[in-house]
């Protein structure tokens, strides 16, 4: 393997380790008539550091795998310091501002969980 990846400033991006026990919140959303379940895991400081997306189809289906893989990528981004707002801004949207994919809808639901948690 080559050199470790670095941020734009040339510094190595360390991955934040999650606590063994952490606060989680589950919610769901719907996209194109399919229910998607979203779970957010929070660090001790209250920041979201991991997520899980489920429900896009049969277990083992391509849709289920795509949701699972996207949740892993979002979680890794969060653990490496990428703000959730940057991830949300990167989601494809229609002219009305609604997510254009099931993955985008799941990311929006994750952002909703985080914003509601901050209000508590």
73-108 per-position pLDDT tens digit: 999 999 999 999 999 999 999 999 999 999 999 999
CB 45 within 8 A of CB 23: no
Largest CA distance in the chain: 45
pLDDT band at 4 (very low <50, low <70, confident <90, very high): very low
As a whole number of Å, the CA-based R_g of the chain is 15
What does pTM read for this prediction? Answer: 0.84
Q: Residue 39 and residue 28: Cα distance in Å, rounded?
A: 8
């Amino acid at each position: 393997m080559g050199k470790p990846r670095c941020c734009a400033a040339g510094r190595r991006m360390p991955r934040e380790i999650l606590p063994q026990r952490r606060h989680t919140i589950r919610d769901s959303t719907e996209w194109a008539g399919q229910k998607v379940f979203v779970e957010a895991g929070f660090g001790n400081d209250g920041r979201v550091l991991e997520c899980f997306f489920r429900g896009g189809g049969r277990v083992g289906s391509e849709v289920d795998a795509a949701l699972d893989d996207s949740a892993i990528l979002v979680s890794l981004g969060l653990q490496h310091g990428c703000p959730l707002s940057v991830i949300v801004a990167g989601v494809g949207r229609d002219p009305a501002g609604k997510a254009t994919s099931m993955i985008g809808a799941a990311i929006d639901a994750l952002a909703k969980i985080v914003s509601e948690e901050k209000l508590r």
